[in-house]
Amino acid sequence: MKKFSIVVTACLATFSLMAQSTDDVNKLLGNEKYAEARTAIDKHMADPKNAGKSESWYFKGRTYNAYSYDKTLSATDKLNLKSDAFDAFKKAQELDKNDMRMKLENYGSYLDLYAALYEVGANSFNSKEYEVALNSFKKAMEVEKYILAKGYSYKDVKLNALDTPLVLNAAVAAMQAKKEDESVGFYRQLTDANVSGPDYKDIYEYLVDYYFKKEDKANLDVMLPKAKTLYPENEFWTDIEIEAVKKSGDKAALFAKYDELISKNTTSFLLPYNYSIEQYNLLYVGDEKPANAEVAIAKLTETLNKAIANDKGIDATFLMTKHLYQVSSDQSVEITKIKGTKPEDVKKKADLTAKAKASMNEFLGYGDKVIAFYEPQAATLKPVQKATYKELLTNMSEVYTYLKNTAKAAEIDKKKAAL
């Protein structure tokens, strides 16, 4: 957890002409007897006539703030004391129209409170007191906003309207405190201000995912375009766009979205690969089939080739073998259905046989690429990879057998037996 570190030297004036009780408090502060000073100021403030005096509230602020640094106090006590000090200083200003005391110290007490609250928050976070950390950061923000609203300035410190580290720390503390809505609010302060850079990418991912899961279309429509603009290479955005359309159950809309995104992301592997899986399942899995199988087959082949072009592994090539094996198998089945002996039947059977053999040879070509990838690492393949490899070898052996190439079939069977 990041920590705000600042040394503030404030010239805190003393007033010898004050009422005796506040004079006594001032002496206790000078002697660093802060616990006693707190008792004295509380007793002083218990008298209703003192509650209307600016100096009483000023000394309450000084006392509570000074005592809040006591190392024996809990983080919660420190936070409460500093919060009360902040309120006391504001009350003192309200009652003193000339603002004499705060002017004399150049409003240094406020800057000290801001820095100290920041530190209480950081220390509490590191101690896993996330609720206290969150409240400390929020109070530090409140003090900082007050300083900025009043136009107070300091020689060695410049405060900003958007205190990015403080807001980020508050967001993380809120998340750890299981207050997700508050965390989102803090993150939105950053994204609404277009804060960006490598360190902030995760914030945009989190918010996009959050609004998607919440089905908050209004906020998702704001966050997603911004995230895509700031981090155009991140494929997470396209995943979300795809998932959003997929939820509708409209296959035509889903495929149109894939085509749109692939045309804009020509170097992506995942987009065409995932699209290929959707197309494959539509063609070969389940009862729902495309209206025009030939068009769908050609489209799947085209999409798989795009995936293969960007694939650093072998997944897309393996899916191509499954696709072409299925194509050739379906073509083989269709051949058996042609029973006629008329010239047109003979020609149709011959044409389909040629197509089937072409599909099989194409399948075998891609199969060789899968073998070249897996064979050198056969001894170290993971179970899933081994199952994939075995499936391919089984299909290749079957195809070689169909093509009456017994030597190649035997070679493939030998590779399979060695696994």
- Model confidence at 1, in pLDDT bands (50, 70, 90)? low
Over residues 349-392, the pLDDT tens digits come to 999 999 999 999 999 999 999 999 999 999 999 999 999 999 99
Over residues 295-307, the pLDDT tens digits come to 999 999 999 999 9
pLDDT score of 290: 86
Higher pLDDT, 34 or 14: 34
Over residues 211-269, the pLDDT tens digits come to 999 999 999 999 999 999 999 989 999 999 999 999 888 999 999 999 999 999 999 99
- Model confidence at 21, in pLDDT bands (50, 70, 90)? confident
Is 384 inside a domain boundary? yes
Over residues 139-163, the pLDDT tens digits come to 999 999 999 999 999 998 999 999 9
Is residue 189 a contact partner of residue 137, using CB atoms and an 8 Å limit?
no
Is 171 inside a domain boundary? no
Is 11 inside a domain boundary? yes
Q: How far is CA 87 from CA 80, 354, 356, in A?
A: 11, 89, 85
Number of domains in the chain: 2
pLDDT score of 317: 98
Confidence check: pLDDT of 14 > 90: no
- Model confidence at 88, in pLDDT bands (50, 70, 90)? very high
pLDDT score of 5: 44
225/260 Cα distance (integer angstroms): 15
Percent of the chain with pLDDT over 90: 88
Is residue 218 a contact partner of residue 188, using CB atoms and an 8 Å limit?
no
Show which of 92, 127, 159 is a domain's final residue.
159
Question: What is the domain extent for residue 152?
Answer: 1-159
Six-digit token string for 200: 């902030």
Over residues 262-291, the pLDDT tens digits come to 999 999 999 999 999 999 999 999 777 788
- Model confidence at 9, in pLDDT bands (50, 70, 90)? very low
Mean pLDDT of 26-53: 94
Q: At what angle do helices 343-374 and 315-336 cross, to 10 degrees?
A: 160
Is 289 inside a domain boundary? no
Q: What is the mean pLDDT of the chain?
A: 93
Confidence check: pLDDT of 119 > 80: yes
Is 291 inside a domain boundary? no
Confidence check: pLDDT of 13 > 50: no
Question: Which ranges of 8-74 does DSSP label H, i.e. alpha helix?
Answer: 20-30, 34-45, 54-67
Confidence check: pLDDT of 17 > 70: no
pLDDT score of 410: 97
Six-digit token string for 228: 């895509």
pLDDT score of 196: 95
pLDDT score of 231: 96
- Model confidence at 341, in pLDDT bands (50, 70, 90)? confident
Show which of 124, 159, 194 is a domain's final residue.
159
pLDDT score of 391: 96
Is 220 inside a domain boundary? no
For residue 26, which of 57, 63, 80, 81 has the smallest C-alpha distance? 63
Lowest mean pLDDT among 103-107, 117-121, 310-314, 345-349: 345-349
Is residue 206 a contact partner of residue 183, using CB atoms and an 8 Å limit?
no
Show which of 127, 159, 191 is a domain's final residue.
159
Cα dihedral sign, 155-161-165-171: positive
Is 98 inside a domain boundary? yes
Is 61 inside a domain boundary? yes
